[in-house]
Structure 1
Amino acid sequence: MRTLAHISDLHFGRIDPRVVEGLLADLMAHRPDLVIISGDLVQRARRSMFREARAFLERLPFPYLVVPGNHDIPVFNVVRRFLLDPFRYYKRYISRDLSPLHVDSEIAVLGLNTARSVILDFSHGRINRAQIARIREVFDDLPPHVFKIVFTHHPFLPPPDAPWTRLVDRHKLALPALEACGVDLLLAGHLHRAYSGELATFHTQVARSILVAQASTATSTRLRNEANAYNIITVAMPELTLEVRSWTGEAFGRGPLSTYRKDGHRWLLQERDIGEFAPTDTTA
């Protein structure tokens, strides 16, 4: 069994300090085997904000993997954005590895950087052919019992109430590789929305079942009609439990909980409980 914490969209530079402390306390209570951070560590890619994010990471007493998001690229500094390395501060303060990997006897977790500084609207992300090749390289030869996870900043699945939401560019090129090498779970953020589902409910061309879990913003004040939240994921094959931990105004409490069971190549929803604290905006 493995317990994973999936946090996203921290946005240091525009955070609620009480929520940051509450998040650290809740992580200590759950003691995850691995923390997965799916981008947007800072609000404006400034040195001071990356230093704050670095200080937060140094307080985590657990292993973690992290990828950048579009907010981790400079917006107004066009020289850094186009002519120099747009990830310079990210690499200095957060990680030089833009495609981190963790593999053990039960799980394999691969991060892919979908943030792009050169596309017209750089708030949207993209996956490229080299990254698709890396998916195959990492997962193809792993034993079939290993649970396989890919995490990005930009989503592969839209919210159930907003099917028109723009997804990571070139996702259709990546779907056959994800399916062929047996990826079980996709994690992302960006939308500041907490939801989960099965990829084939939207991408009908995918025959093999792949679960998706989106994380809300963990600590930012940039809420979108939801409270701050993060995910606790328990992998105990053939079952996976996804618990949304939602900010109540005083601490993080149990929000919606979903249990999935794998039957052959299909993930089937077994139970869904809305929990004590649904991820609605508690600041209203």
Structure 2
Amino acid sequence: MTRILHLSDLHFGFHRKELIGPLLDRINRARADIVVATGDLTHRGRPGQYEKAAEFLERITAPVMCVPGNHDVPLYNVPVRFLLPYSGYKQNISAELAPTMQSGQVRVLGLNSVDPFRVQRGVIREGQIGRVIGSLDPLSTNILALHHPLEQLPQVDKELSRRAPEALARLEQAGVHIVLSGHLHVWASDALLARTAHPKVLQIQVGTALCARLDDRQNEFAVLDIDGTELTVERHIAPMDQPDFQPPLIQRYSRASGIWEGFDQDSDIPILPGATETVFSTA
């Protein structure tokens, strides 16, 4: 069995300071094989925010793999945003924007979905799809990790990333089994599985792990236990009015039939309007 811990949208610079300790405690007690952080590590891509994010990541005892989010490029420093958008990320987090990590029979492939020329909307570039497909392991559970979702529920009022539908279709055909993303500050897995035209891919969209925006209503992260074709997901939730995480909700899945199916699920009702945003708000 391989354990992957997935968190996203830390938003250092606009984060719940009192939740840092409980979050780190839960992460380290999980003893994950890989911790995957899918972007928006900072709120505005500022040096001090990157320092806080880097310090947090250094305190995680498991191997950590990150990809950038749209908030990780400077919003107000326009020259840097357009000419050196990832300078802060590369200096403080990682020189790699699309890393790959393997643990046992699980391969996690990162993809940078950020478009520095757009404030919020992402982009999946043609070359990125081919790179991911060329890096898949036919003997492993292949997981794609990126900031922007490849599909979203109809209630979400954001623009889907450019080329996302094409990417999802091609990646499913090539053998991607799970997609981890964030960005929306809204959890979705079962609701997406129920309506998707791509049931060979389980899309897990986590909410925000630390952002202090009250409209999000809660902070959360997920732990995935992968055993061949079987998957158990622990969803750890900390309501905004509580100082710690509640006992996890459990969701179980199987792809033994060739497509993903969910069993004995706890609640998977997405919380809205956490997905609503304006240009200068968080998500």
Counterpart of 1:211 in structure 2 is 202
Deviates more, 1:1-10 or 1:194-203: 194-203
Q: Of 118, 123, 128, which aligns to 2:125? A: 128
Structure 2 counterpart of 1:7: 7
Taking structure 2 as the reference length, the TM-score comes to 0.89
The structural deviation recorded for 1:203 is: 4.2
SS in 1 for 2:200: coil
Tell me if the contact between 2:50 and 2:88 (Cα under 8 Å) persists in the aligned partners: yes
Displacement after TM superposition at 1:242 (Å): 1.3
Moved more, 93-102 or 174-183: 174-183
Could you say if the C-alpha distance between residues 240 and 163 of structure 1 is closer, same or farther in structure 2, counting changes exceeding 3 Å? same
Could you say which residue in structure 2 is the equivalent of 1:235? 226
Q: 219-228 or 102-111, which moves further after superposition?
A: 219-228
| Partners of 2:158 and 2:248 in 1: CA distance | 24
Alignment deviations for residues 6-59 of structure 1 (CA, whole Å, 9 cap, x no partner) = 000000011111111110011122111110000000011111110111111111
Is 2:13–2:49's contact at 8 Å kept on the other side of the alignment? yes
Work out whether 1:69 is the aligned partner of 2:63.
no
Counterpart in the other structure of 2:276: none
Deviation track 1:113-150 (CA, whole Å, cap 9, x = no partner) reads 101112xx3211010011011111101xx233x11100
* TM norm structure 1: 0.88
Counterpart of 2:148 (choices 148, 154, 162) is 154
Which amino acid counterpart does residue 222 of structure 1 have in structure 2?
A: R
Q: Which amino acid aligns with 2:253?
A: Y
Query: 1 CA distance for matches of 2:179 and 2:189?
Result: 10
Residues of 2 paired with 1:194 and 1:270: CA distance?
18
Partner of 1:222: 213
Distance 1:198 1:175, change over 3 A: farther
Q: Tell me if structure 2 keeps the 8 A contact 1:198–1:209.
A: no
CA contact (8 A) 1:39 1:68 kept: yes
Q: 1:105 to 1:5 in 2, by over 3 A?
A: closer
Match of 1:85 in 2: 84
- Give the CA deviation at 1:256: 3.2
Q: Secondary structure at the match of 1:220?
A: coil
Matched, 1:55 2:59: no
| 2:271 aligned with 1:272 | no
Question: Unaligned 5+ residue runs, structure 1?
Answer: none
Tell whether the 8 Å contact from 1:192 to 1:223 is kept in structure 2 after alignment.
no
Q: Give the drift of 1:179.
A: 1.4
- Please state how far the C-alpha of 1:211 moved relative to its aligned partner: 0.2
Question: In the alignment, is the contact (CA less than 8 A) between 1:148 and 1:183 conserved in 2?
Answer: yes
Structure 2 spans left out of the alignment, 5+ residues: 274-283
Pairing 1:169-184 to 2, within 5 Å after superposition: 169-184=162-177
How far did 1:273 drift?
A: 1.7
The count of aligned residue pairs is: 270
1:162 is displaced (CA, Å) by 1.2
Aligned to 2:116: 117
CA deviations on 1:229-279 (whole Å, 9 max, x unpaired) are 00111111221111210115132123432101113311111110239xx97
Q: Distance in 1 between matches of 2:88 and 2:25?
A: 28
**How much has 1:164 moved relative to structure 2?**
5.5
Aligned partner of 1:102 in structure 2 is: 101
Q: Secondary structure of the residue that 2:25 maps to in structure 1?
A: helix
Instruction: Output the CA distance in 2 between the equivalents of 1:111 and 1:232.
Output: 18
Give 3-state SS (helix, strand or coil) of 1:263's partner.
coil
SS state at 2:90 partner? helix
The separation in 2 between residues aligned to 1:280 and 1:25, in whole angstroms, is 28
The SS at the match of 1:252 is coil
- When residues 166 and 255 of structure 1 are mapped into structure 2, their CA distance, relative to the original with a 3 A threshold, is farther
Determine if contact 2:189/2:202 at 8 Å carries over to the other structure. yes
Which residue does the alignment assign to 1:246? 237
Residue 55 of structure 2: SS of its match in structure 1? helix
Amino acid at match of 1:43: H
Identity within the alignment, %: 33
Q: What is the distance in 2 between the residues matched to 1:223 and 1:111?
A: 30
Supply the AA of the counterpart residue of 1:81.
Answer: R
**SS of residue paired to 1:150:** strand
CA shift in 2, pair 1:255/1:228, >3 Å? same
Q: Distance in 1 between matches of 2:87 and 2:109?
A: 22
